[in-house]
Structures are given as structure tokens and as C-alpha cells.
Amino acid sequence: MWQELDPDSHRRVWNRFDGRFDFLPSAHPEDWPSIVEPTPSLTWDLAPGQRRPLSRYDHAARDFGRSREGVDELADVLFAALKRCTGEQDWVYVLDWQHASYRFWPHRTDSVDPWPVPIVPDGDYCAFLAADLSYGIFGHPWERTVCLFGGELTTAVADHGQPVLRRDGRAPR
């Protein structure tokens, strides 16, 4: 279930997100990763070997070098991990840069299609965040990455096998 935030709540949540993660939106690689990635975190490379900046109008499946089914599979993995971290009655904030923000109850839906904000970025930054910002998923459309942070969330996806670009904000050794 999705509930759109009123304008004041939208601003407050974005301000909290900006303050906690120093969000810097940019399509320029020198400005990436666009947030201070916390510890613990895993940043998955959604398009290994394809570091060119994207147009904001590119589509996820084509630009990530994946089939639509591949993007859907990744969305299913992220959704399942999010559900493992939330209680039956818990909700998360969903931020979609330059668009409406929401409260989302993961256990009150069975599918990732259709959602007002996709869990795999498709042209805008997106974030799925615990109410206290202790865990979440941040999608970077131009870097083509997803940063998963918070102990329980990173544990829930640790064995997925997705290429890791950064761990705790640093390139793995």
C-alpha cells in the first residue's frame, strides 16, 4: 500500500535525508556516489563495465544491459530484502527525486509491478528508507548503482551475487 506524503512531510523527509547522507544530485562521475554511503553498506553495480553517464530519459533494462526480466528479478530481490527488514505493520519512506514521496507498507503488497516509484532506478534518484533512516536502498540512475545500507538489509542480500562496486563507501580490495 502506498500513501503520498503531503508537501510539508515531503520537505521534512527530504531534509532529513539530505542532512543524514549529504545528498548531492549530479550526472557527473566526479560527484558520485551522490550520498555519503554509511557503514555497513553494499553498493551494487547494476551495469558492470558501463560507467558512461546516462541521459535521464534512458530506460533501466536497456541501460543496465539487462533484459526486462533481469531488472524485474533484481527488483524482486530488493523487495524481498526490504520485506525481511520490516515488520508486518511497518512502513518505509519512498523518495523519488523531483516527484512525489510516499509511505509504503511492504507487507501490504505482493508484487513490484506497478509501483509509483520503482525500486531499481529508472531515470531519477530513488530511496526506500526506514522511518528512522537506519536502513534503506538508494538508487543512483546515472551511476547505475543501488546502495543498500543497514546491517539487517545488507545481511539479507549478502549472498545474492550482484557485483559489488563499493563496500561501506569504499571500493573492495
Give 8-65 pLDDT, tens digit per residue.
999 999 999 999 999 999 989 999 999 999 999 999 998 875 544 444 334 444 445 5
Q: Is the pLDDT reported for residue 133 higher than 90?
A: yes
Q: Is the pLDDT reported for residue 173 higher than 90?
A: no
Alpha helices, H only, 28-158: 60-63, 68-85, 151-157
Q: Copy the grid coordinates of residue 144.
A: 547505475
pTM value > 0.75: yes
pLDDT score for 65: 53
pLDDT score for 130: 97
- The sheet with strand 102-104 has its strands ordered as 2-4, 102-104, 92-96, 126-130, 136-140, 145-149, 41-45, 164-167
Which residues share a beta bridge with 44?
146, 164
**Mean of pLDDT over the chain:** 87
User: Is the distance from CB of 117 to CB of 99 less than 8 angstroms?
Assistant: yes
pLDDT score for 110: 83
